[in-house]
């Protein structure tokens, strides 16, 4: 009796489980209908074609300079690879708020090897906040988000006096974006944190950009957009080089644009500061353009100068003392809604005895070779 009493609760439990495991046909049907309803709700936003999108862009560019000082990577030999690129960007929606975005870019200047420029997971909180994690664009400039997409830019090439100061276009990390309206002004705030390793060329080797931290803010009112940004990082040389040894640096910039559909005006100004022997700079540009049917002729004035020449040790002066002015005239012709042809002539001078920031403009003794340079560029840009 004692043994039977002990076994009774276990039997009761097993019986209870048996009853629960053996629902009636009507119960099974109700459960299946409920599961089907849940699946239909989840897949209302559904097929792969609804969740996935793929876009691309292409730039075919040719440039030639009038001397070996060159400009934007071009010299006296016409070059069809420098500046040419092909990109594919895909996104896959995991839910209505969460998606994965990746951008692959192959550049002619890198023998068309493919590099992952973007690869991030983003989540939209439906209240103006968006967070992203992965490989992201460094939002230093007004055209940072469209840096690779030539079709989205008015120029054949963005002014290198400003856009080439920081040899870093993306980083690995996280950011947060908040969009809201302040009266008639649309405001976008963005904050980022991360790091990056980049090969910056034979002279400086691979550099570790540690603790990239910064924020930007843009304000759009009718035809006007104002943008400001500040980012800082710590530079540390790798591959045995000691040029950067935990050197703190920062970049601060402002930009203003006006576009009423006919008149286009864009201007940006930035300062950069790097501890040690590397160049501190001031740079900027102003572009004016006017759309006439499918043509957008434009002119640009840009400048670049180093601001710490007196603090640099003599062996580093030829390579890191820079000064130049650049004057561009060009036009964009919109062939169709996704094709554009651009032509540009840029004259650069005002080197003031320096290389002008053009590495090929120094001889073996570190002396300036040319006092000015001209580069001719034709670019074909497409998005698809």
Query: How is residue 64 written in tokens?
Result: 């030639």
Mean pLDDT of the chain: 89
In this model, does residue 202 exceed pLDDT 80?
no
CB 52 within 8 A of CB 92: yes
Residues 34-40 have a mean pLDDT of 60
What's the average model confidence in pLDDT over 191-218? 91
Cα dihedral: 204, 205, 210, 214 (round 10) = 60
pLDDT confidence of residue 43: 53
pLDDT classification of 47: cutoffs 50, 70, 90: confident
Cα atoms found within 13 Å of the Cα of residue 57, Cβ hemisphere only: 18
pLDDT at 8: 34
pLDDT top residue among 18 and 112:
112
332-372 tens-digit pLDDT: 999 999 999 999 999 999 999 999 999 889 888 888 999 99
- % the chain with pLDDT above 70: 88
Highest mean predicted confidence (pLDDT) among 1-5, 196-200, 244-248: 244-248
Whole-model pTM: value is 0.84
What would the pLDDT profile of 272-322 be if each residue is shown by its tens digit?
999 999 999 999 999 999 999 999 999 999 999 999 999 998 888 998 999
What pLDDT does residue 9 have?
Answer: 37
Residues 69-89: tens digit of each pLDDT: 889 889 999 999 999 999 999
Region 21-39: mean pLDDT is: 57
Q: State how far the Cα of 190 lies from the Cα of 175, in Å rounded to an integer.
A: 7
> Is the CB of residue 338 less than 8 Å from the CB of residue 383?
yes
Q: Which residues contact 20 (CB under 8 A, 6 or more apart)?
A: none
Pick 31 or 305 by higher pLDDT.
305
Per-residue pLDDT, 34: 66
> Chain-centre distance of CA 242, in angstroms?
28
Among residues 297, 292, 379, the alpha carbon closest in space to that of 82 is found at 379
pLDDT for 10 equals 36
What is the token pair recorded at 10? 């276990």
| 121-125: average pLDDT | 97
């Amino acid at each position: 009796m004692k043994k039977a009493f002990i076994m009774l609760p276990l039997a009761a439990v097993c019986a209870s489980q048996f009853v629960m495991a053996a629902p009636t046909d009507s119960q099974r049907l109700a459960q299946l209908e409920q599961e089907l309803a849940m699946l239909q709700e989840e897949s209302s936003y559904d097929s792969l074609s609804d969740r996935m999108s793929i876009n691309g862009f292409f730039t075919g560019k040719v440039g030639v300079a009038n001397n070996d000082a060159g400009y934007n990577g071009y010299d006296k030999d016409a070059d069809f690879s420098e500046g040419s690129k092909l990109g594919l960007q895909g996104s896959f929606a995991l839910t209505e708020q969460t998606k994965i975005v990746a951008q692959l870019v192959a550049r002619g200047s890198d023998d068309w090897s493919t590099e992952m420029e973007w690869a991030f997971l983003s989540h939209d909180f439906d209240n103006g906040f968006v967070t992203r994690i992965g490989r992201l664009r460094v939002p230093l400039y007004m055209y940072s988000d469209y840096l690779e997409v030539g079709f989205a830019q008015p120029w054949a090439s963005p002014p290198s006096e400003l856009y080439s100061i920081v040899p870093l276009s993306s980083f690995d990390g996280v950011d947060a974006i908040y969009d809201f309206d302040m009266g008639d002004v649309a405001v976008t705030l963005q904050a980022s944190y991360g790091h990056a390793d980049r090969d910056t060329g034979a002279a400086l080797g691979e550099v570790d950009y540690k603790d990239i931290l910064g924020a930007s803010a843009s304000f759009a009112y009718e035809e006007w957009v104002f943008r400001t940004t500040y980012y800082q990082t710590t530079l540390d040389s790798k591959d045995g080089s000691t040029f950067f040894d935990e050197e703190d640096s920062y970049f601060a910039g402002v930009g203003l644009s006006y576009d009423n559909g006919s008149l286009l005006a864009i201007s940006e100004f930035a300062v950069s500061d790097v501890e040690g022997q590397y160049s501190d700079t001031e740079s900027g540009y102003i572009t004016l353009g006017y759309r006439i049917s499918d043509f957008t002729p434009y002119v640009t004035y840009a400048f670049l100068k180093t601001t710490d020449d007196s603090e640099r040790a003599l062996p580093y002066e030829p390579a890191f003392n820079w000064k130049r002015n650049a004057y561009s005239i060009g036009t964009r012709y919109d062939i169709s809604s996704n094709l554009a042809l651009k032509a540009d002539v840029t004259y650069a001078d005002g080197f003031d005895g320096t290389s002008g920031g053009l590495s090929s403009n120094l001889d073996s003794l570190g002396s300036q070779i040319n006092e000015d340079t001209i580069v001719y560029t034709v670019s074909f840009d497409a998005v698809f």
